[in-house]
Structures are given as structure tokens and as C-alpha cells.
Amino acid sequence: MTPNQPGAQPKAPIAGVKNLIAVGSGKGGVGKTTVAVNLAVGLASLGYKAGLMDADVYGPNVPLMMGINQTPMAHGDRIQPIEKHGVKLMSMGFLNPGDKPLIWRGPMLHSVMQQFVRGVDWGDLDYLVIDLPPGTGDVQLSLIQTAPITGAIVVTTPSDVSLEDARKAIHMFRQVRTPILGLVENMSFLNCPHCSQRIDVFSHGGGRRTAEEMQVYFLAELPLDPRVRIGGDTGDPIVLRKGEGEPFLDLARATAARAEEALKAEGPEIEIGD
């Protein structure tokens, strides 16, 4: 049984949260968390009240990328999210720091996702960005069945291998009737720092072509830039840097516009854009 089908339990919204934006990918290694972090910080930079839920329980990299390492406190029966760069944060990395792996099965994953959704005092947010684990497994389905998602963003690189898995992610969101805000082509190109020549390291244009074929909106081309990696490693997201973070700010603007369209749409998926 999929969400919104007859007989499925209704999904209660998160109190105070206007939009839930799920950021997913068909495979790992495409920069999904980098996109999610810079998207959330970008939305906050644009004046929106933003939060970021790190649902990638097996590889919670948000604490490192946001430059924060502390344990959240509880107030009554509610966990208080940690705030950094104007974004409210919750991650398994706060609760299970270090290199110790989590070896959990579906029921335990469902329980922690319920806790992150219902047990965290998110307060009033315009956008809660959810960094999903790669693939199409238990965590994705648990979250989609728990709360109404405004829309999903699928991250890919231009390579054929990545695009094949991105198509699977798009099909998964469609099967569970989650609106798809668009496709993001990450590591789209490299501007050589020595000669300024554009280099298509992982090919180029596959994301836009796939978006057209799958009839989803093409949200952004994001460059392969060493400064993006440095920002992630140092907890200083590149979207905060004037003159360097514009591609991610543009992504935040486009996401906000698409989310507004998704809320107005009556069908299970919004129309393809120009």
C-alpha cells in the first residue's frame, strides 16, 4: 500500500513546518548532502526560516559540513535542534558521533525517523530540508509515509551510471505519489583555474536531457569546484561566500518557487517548467 491510496493512514503535517523538501539520489557519491546543506543555508540566507534533517543515518555528514559537533539537549519530551548558519539541525551524527557504524534494520530506522519528525522541536519553519540516504530503501519510505512531503529534489551527476540511478529515484518518488520539484545536475562542469577553459569531467548535459525525458523540471547545473569541497570539509558552506555561492543561491530561489507551485498543484506531480 502506498501513501494516499485508499486505506492508507493519513499523514499528519509537522506542526509549524510549512514545507518539507526531500533531497535524494539514486546512488551515493553524487554530492547529495552537499546540495542539501547549501540549499538549507541558502534558503536561510534568503530570509526564510529553515531547518535541515539529516536522515542519512548510515552516513550522517551534516555535522561536519555545518561545522558543529555537540549533543542536542531535551526540553521536556522534545529534542531541541542545534542551530548553525541560521539553520535548525538534527542528525544522527549528533547522537552517534565518531566512526562507530550503525547496524540497524527497518523497524529501528522507522523509529528514529519518527523521533526526528515528531520528537524534535522544529518550531516555525518555512522549509525543512531532509537529506535522505542514497537509494530507494526503508528510510525514504518511512519518511514519505510519516509526513506530507511538499516535493522531492533528485541529485545526479552527468555520468550515465549516475543518471541511470537517478531515473530509479524519480520512479520511486512517483510510485509513492511525492511531487518532484526537479533534478539537479551536480559536478556539471569544471572551470580550469589556470586557463579558465571549461572541462566536462563527468560528461555534460545528461541531467537536462534526463529531466526532459522523464518530464521533470531541471532545477540547476552546479559546478565541480574545489571551493565547494573545502567549504564542506571546514563547515563553511560555499553558499555563504559572496561571489562564489551564487549557483547554490539560485538553486534555493528556484526551489522556493517550485515548492510554491507544488503547494498549489492538485495532482500528484507538478507540471514541467520551461
Tens of pLDDT along the chain (274 residues)?
444 444 445 678 899 999 999 999 988 889 999 999 999 999 999 999 999 999 887 778 999 999 998 888 988 888 999 999 999 999 988 876 655 555 555 556 667 778 888 889 999 999 999 999 887 677 777 787 788 899 999 999 999 999 999 999 999 999 988 999 999 999 987 776 677 777 777 677 889 999 999 999 999 999 988 899 999 999 999 999 988 999 999 999 999 999 998 887 754 444 444 3
pLDDT of residue 268: 44
Per-residue confidence (pLDDT) for residue 106, from 0 to 100: 53
The 3-state DSSP class for residue 98 equals coil
pTM of the model: 0.88
pLDDT at 4: 46
Q: From the DSSP assignment, how many helices (H) and strands (E) are in the chain? A: 9, 12
Say if strands 190-191 and 198-199 run parallel, antiparallel, or are unpaired: antiparallel
pLDDT number for residue 272: 40
Could you please report the per-residue DSSP string of 185-245?
E-S--EE-TTT--EE-BTBSSHHHHHHHHHT--EEEE----HHHHHHHHHT--GGGSTTTS
Q: What pLDDT is attached to residue 270?
A: 43
Domain map (residue ranges) of the chain: 17-264
At residue 205, the pLDDT reads 82
Can you name the residues that pair with 191 across neighbouring β-strands? 198
> What is the model's pLDDT at position 7?
43
Helix/strand/coil for 252: helix
Q: Which CATH number fits domain 17-264: 3.40.1710.10, 2.40.360.20, 3.30.565.10, 3.40.50.300?
A: 3.40.50.300
- Residue 138 has φ and ψ, to the nearest 5°, of -60, -40
pLDDT of residue 152: 95
Q: How far is C-alpha 210 from the chain's CA centre?
A: 19
φ, ψ of residue 95 to 5 degrees: the values are -95, -25
pLDDT for res 10: 60
